[in-house]
């Protein structure tokens, strides 16, 4: 791989329950073709009055040419206390982009997801759509995207429920590169159920990154999601705040 990123997350995380996966924040901006990637692993074990185990893993592999982009993301999070799980979540996402011209791209994706906190046994997505680039500047980049996706979801309610829906996923994302040391990436999603427009999800993420020293940067991110019809017992609004260090080397 020509470029590899390793992400070490600092121990600040609030209410990690996001149901919409923001793949825009995972895209790697690079002028070169070929392979690039991200690998992160965080394992913690402690024992006092309880035995605690925490595992977080992120793998991102990307291959880019002038016309094609293939991206695979795998993220898992697991926490247990005295052999009782209280956090168990993961997502696998595969996406392909074909650049029709300098501004327009066609994309297709597959995704598998589970989240015990949000009572999602598994959620499988398959979709396709278009992505449009609104700007040509390298200092600021704006995109609009719209896809149609099929969603199969099984909940952890008692009894389990199965949902089979067609949804429209629309997003607006921008990246601002103020200078070589500071950047901001923000993405907003709107995902209505095509059969019942009163059933929709909204998600937003903003991530600010500061260069600390050479290839070392500090990153802080805020995530917010809203679901009009979540699983029974789960709040409609969920949010997450994380801080971390990013080290990049070629």
- The residue-averaged pLDDT of 74-87 equals 76
CA atoms of 100 and 163, how far apart (whole Å): 34
Min mean pLDDT across 29-38, 172-181, 187-196 is at 29-38
Contact 133, 106 (CB under 8 A): no
pLDDT in the model for residue 236: 92
Is pLDDT at 134 greater than 60 in this prediction?
yes
Contact 238, 20 (CB under 8 A): no
- The residue-averaged pLDDT of 204-221 equals 85
> Hey, where are the domains in the chain?
3-249
- The residue-averaged pLDDT of 12-31 equals 55
pLDDT in the model for residue 56: 80
Min mean pLDDT across 5-9, 67-71, 109-113 is at 5-9
pLDDT in the model for residue 51: 78
Min mean pLDDT across 28-37, 183-192, 221-230 is at 28-37
CA atoms of 106 and 215, how far apart (whole Å): 33
Spell out the long-range contacts of 177-185 with Cβ–Cβ below 8 A and sequence spacing 24 or more: 177/138, 177/139, 177/140, 180/211, 181/210, 181/211, 182/208, 182/209, 182/210, 182/211, 183/208, 183/209, 184/208, 184/209, 185/24, 185/25, 185/209
Alpha-carbon dihedral sign for residues 19, 239, 183, 5: negative
| Model pTM score | 0.79
pLDDT in the model for residue 75: 87
Average pLDDT, the chain: 83
CA atoms of 232 and 248, how far apart (whole Å): 42
- The residue-averaged pLDDT of 172-195 equals 93
**Top-confidence residue, 106 or 29:** 106
pLDDT in the model for residue 10: 41
Of the pLDDT bands very low, low, confident and very high (cuts 50, 70, 90), residue 5 is very low
Q: Please name every residue paired with 220 in a beta bridge, in sequence order, or none if there are none.
A: 208, 243
Express each pLDDT in 146-157 by its tens digit: 999 999 999 988
DSSP assignment string, 122-133: EEEEEEEEEEEE
* Cα of 195 vs its chain's centroid, Å: 26
Is pLDDT at 192 greater than 60 in this prediction?
yes
pLDDT in the model for residue 30: 61
CATH classification code of 3-249: 2.40.160.40
């Amino acid at each position: 791989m020509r470029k590899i990123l390793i992400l070490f997350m600092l121990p600040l995380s609030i209410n990690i329950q996001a149901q919409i996966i923001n793949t825009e924040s995972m895209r790697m901006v690079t002028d070169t073709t070929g392979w690039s990637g991200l690998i992160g692993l965080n394992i913690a074990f402690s024992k006092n009055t309880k035995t605690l185990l925490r595992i977080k893993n992120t793998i991102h592999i990307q291959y880019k040419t002038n016309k094609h982009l293939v991206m695979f993301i795998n993220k898992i999070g697991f926490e247990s206390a005295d052999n009782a799980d209280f956090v168990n979540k993961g997502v696998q996402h595969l996406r392909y982009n074909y650049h029709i011209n300098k501004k327009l791209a066609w994309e297709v994706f597959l995704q598998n997801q589970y989240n015990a906190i949000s009572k999602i046994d598994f959620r499988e997505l398959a979709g396709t759509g278009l992505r449009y680039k609104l700007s040509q500047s390298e200092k600021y980049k704006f995109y609009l995207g719209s896809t149609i996706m099929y969603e199969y979801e099984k909940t952890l309610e008692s009894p389990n429920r199965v949902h089979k829906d067609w949804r429209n996923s629309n997003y607006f994302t921008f990246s601002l590169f103020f200078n070589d040391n500071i950047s901001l990436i923000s993405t907003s999603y709107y995902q209505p159920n095509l059969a019942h427009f009163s059933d929709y999800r909204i998600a937003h993420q903003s991530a600010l990154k500061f260069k600390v020293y050479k290839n070392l940067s500090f990153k802080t991110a805020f995530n917010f999601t809203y679901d009009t019809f979540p699983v029974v017992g789960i709040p409609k609004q969920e949010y997450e705040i994380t801080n971390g260090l990013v080290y990049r080397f070629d």
